[in-house]
Structure 1
Amino acid sequence: MTEPDALDRRVVVVVVPAAGTWAPPGRDPEAWRLALAEDTYEVLAALDRVEVAVAVAGGDEDAVAEVSALTWPGTPTYAVDAARPVLHAVELAGPAAAVVAVSYDVPDLPGLLIGKLFRALSSADIAVTPAEDGTLAAIGTKTPVAGWVSEIAPTFDTPLSALEARKPRRHAVAIGPGWHRLRSAADIARLDPGLEGWDATRSLLRHS
């Protein structure tokens, strides 16, 4: 039976790859991956009226434990299918009014942008925060997930145009303000040293 407060639950899930991909020159890819994930998690953990979880795409028990060590006690952390990490993370979030999956590489993301996605999901099937490189920084869905969204099984690399082309009605896709992901050395210039937060990422950039 669905819990009475399930329709009021809003869940945010940080989706972290199981292994490092790239890192700035002179930095360890694994340390970089974990620093980005920790800072992104901290941004979301500070939000009001949301529950936060962490999903490790393609991870085993060791990978899940490694990422879990970065979180506050009691934060759900679990492995998800690397082929469909977003929708699998939504499924494992449990009964909720809406779930927003966030890519791990947005350590300076303003929490306000996540709030905008949840508000948009009151009428849209899916709401996204586009990234400047043409990918997606965050993907929110109503639950249960609309059939057409399940068919596409969007990931953070899904082009926005693919969602727009398949939407069954005008307002089925909501597009929030854009942001930037840290996917190359050039992206580091987008970090604002004057802003609070992204402490783990900042520390790693300061020390080789």
Structure 2
Amino acid sequence: MTDAPDPAPGGQPRFAAVLSLPARQTDVPPGIDPGEFRLALLEDTYEVVAGLELVTSALVLDPPDQPDAEAVTWPGTPIVRESTLAGAFAALHALGAGAAALVAPDAPDLPPLLLGKLFRALGSAPSAACQADGATGPDGLVALAARLPLPEWLDTALQGVDLDTPDALARLRAAAPRPGLVPQGPAWHRLRTTADLRLLDPGLEGWENTRALLEGHPLNS
């Protein structure tokens, strides 16, 4: 991370924030504590965001009191306490962001390049999305980026949509006043069930905390 983030459109900094939300994970491999698993996913996802060049990392908490989640962040990381995507974007704008990406907390092996593509898409559109492609197909979003402040149509749409909404991308596109305002970057996976673990690539660098916790557990089970 750098002290001088690359300007977003309008000359303001870019922020990328990981959401620490109640876990949707329905099951974990036997012998793994669900709370530890959630934190491992969160920490690895945060490390992806914190390692982005020319972007300021942040953490969004809902519920607001999560000392275990705050403990995985680097010193000085902005902490936002908001329960909606619209509220999180507004809080990041108040911190000085001219553009921001909100990232799901269960994408520990997310390639930084995908977030870079979302930010680049904001040069020609007010928002851009990375759809979640799980073991059973598309399901919600991995990340959503937007120029700030949000346009009114997007702010309104995000009052009833979050990254877990299965048809989030379709809803946002339906709310847009014309086509092309929510371009889609390459899809990626989130880890929300044990079936999703088979999507992890042991040869891919990163996701060290998740990797250590899963040691001895076959990913294709």
TM-score normalised by the chain length of structure 1: 0.89
1:119 shift after superposition: 0.8
Find 1:22's aligned residue among 18, 23, 26. Answer: 26
Q: Distance in 2 between matches of 1:66 and 1:205?
A: 20
> Could you list the per-position Cα deviations for residues 5-30 of structure 1 after superposition, in whole angstroms to 9, with x for gaps in the alignment?
78330000000114674341221111
Q: Which residue of 1 aligns with 2:114?
A: 113
- Aligned length in residues: 198
Q: Which residue of 1 aligns with 2:45?
A: 40
Q: Which residue of 2 aligns with 1:13?
A: 17
Please tell me whether the aligned partners of residues 100 and 138 of structure 1 are also in contact (alpha carbons under 8 angstroms): yes
Q: Which residue of 1 aligns with 2:189?
A: 180
Q: Distance in 2 between matches of 1:15 and 1:47?
A: 16
Q: Flag the 1:9–1:116 CA change in 2: closer, same or farther, 3 A.
A: same
Asked if residue 89 in structure 1 is aligned to residue 93 in structure 2, the reply is no
Q: Which residue of 2 aligns with 1:72?
A: 74
Q: Distance in 2 between matches of 1:183 and 1:43?
A: 18
Query: Aligned with 1:75: secondary structure?
Result: coil
Asked if residue 31 in structure 1 is aligned to residue 36 in structure 2, the reply is yes
Q: Which residue of 2 aligns with 1:204?
A: 213
Query: Aligned with 1:183: secondary structure?
Result: coil
Q: How does 1:183-194 map to 2 (within 5 A)?
A: 183-194=192-203
Please tell me whether the aligned partners of residues 60 and 80 of structure 2 are also in contact (alpha carbons under 8 angstroms): yes
| Paired amino acid for 1:44 | V
User: Stretches of 4+ moved more than 2 A in 1?
Assistant: 5-8, 18-23
Q: Distance in 2 between matches of 1:164 and 1:110?
A: 25
Question: Which consecutive unaligned segments of at least 5 residues does structure 2 have?
Answer: 1-6
> Could you list the per-position Cα deviations for residues 77-109 of structure 1 after superposition, in whole angstroms to 9, with x for gaps in the alignment?
23222xx1x222212212222110000000000
Q: Distance in 2 between matches of 1:186 and 1:162?
A: 26
Q: Which residue of 1 aligns with 2:157?
A: 152
Query: Aligned with 1:115: secondary structure?
Result: helix
More helix by share: 1
Q: Percent identity?
A: 42
Q: Distance in 2 between matches of 1:78 and 1:29?
A: 24
1:207 shift after superposition: 5.9
Please tell me whether the aligned partners of residues 123 and 171 of structure 1 are also in contact (alpha carbons under 8 angstroms): no
Q: Distance in 2 between matches of 1:201 and 1:8?
A: 34
Question: Which consecutive unaligned segments of at least 5 residues does structure 1 have?
Answer: none
RMSD value, Cα: 1.7
Please tell me whether the aligned partners of residues 12 and 96 of structure 2 are also in contact (alpha carbons under 8 angstroms): no
Query: Aligned with 1:130: secondary structure?
Result: strand
Please tell me whether the aligned partners of residues 121 and 141 of structure 1 are also in contact (alpha carbons under 8 angstroms): yes
TM-score normalised by the chain length of structure 2: 0.84
